[in-house]
Amino acid sequence: MSDAKHDLRKIAFQTVLSLVVMILLFGVVYYFFKDQLEWAGTWMGIHWGLPGVAGTVFCIDFLLVPASADILFPLSLNQDWGNPWILLPVMSFASILAGHLGYMAGHSLSLWKGLHRFTHRFKAQGEEIFLKYGFWAVVLGAVTPVPFSATCWMAGHWKLSYGKFLLATLFRIPRMVLYYLAVYVGIEGLKMLGTQT
């Protein structure tokens, strides 16, 4: 089996595993902290609303932080601002916009000569990833738990063509829908189990 096929199978397995873990984790958290999450969701709706959601997603997916926009999904359930027909497009657009600004920032930093001494040790690995996978590296960042922000910054830094990058970031839309559904299924499943006991 080629290295590329092995890598893709490994990534696909990790993605499915992360979805299962997320379904269970968010379901358990919601089961034990339902009142607190509903209070936080109500507070967020009153004080932030959808602009706050968009800003939070933008910051998570632009800045190189160890967080995921998925943390907003449990807060959105049973909230007026959490209508998925509005919430998911807002979150997707904010995420894609953040990715594009990350790409531009990465590209700009690649032109700064002083930064090369800090990125030198990652240069071979980063170039190898983007020469080998290019478009698919960004797609994987868009749909898997791999930090989307890091993928976008690297795509800009290693000068992936903007057209390919633009197309790859659109995979963020079905990813948001799929992960939202995973969280929803996990929480609703635990609610059903709770009512049966």
Mean pLDDT of 9-35: 72
CB 167 within 8 A of CB 142: no
Give the per-residue pLDDT at 125: 58
**Interhelix angle 3-47/172-196, nearest 10 degrees:** 70
Its pTM stands at 0.78
Give the per-residue pLDDT at 162: 94
Q: For 13-81, give the DSSP string.
A: HHHHHHHHHHHHHHHHHHHHHHHHHHHHHHHHHHHTHHHHHHHHHHHHHHTT-S--GGGHHHHHTTSGG
SS3 160: coil
Give the per-residue pLDDT at 146: 75
> What are 29-65's pLDDT values in tens digits?
777 877 887 787 788 778 888 898 899 899 989 988 7
Give the per-residue pLDDT at 169: 96
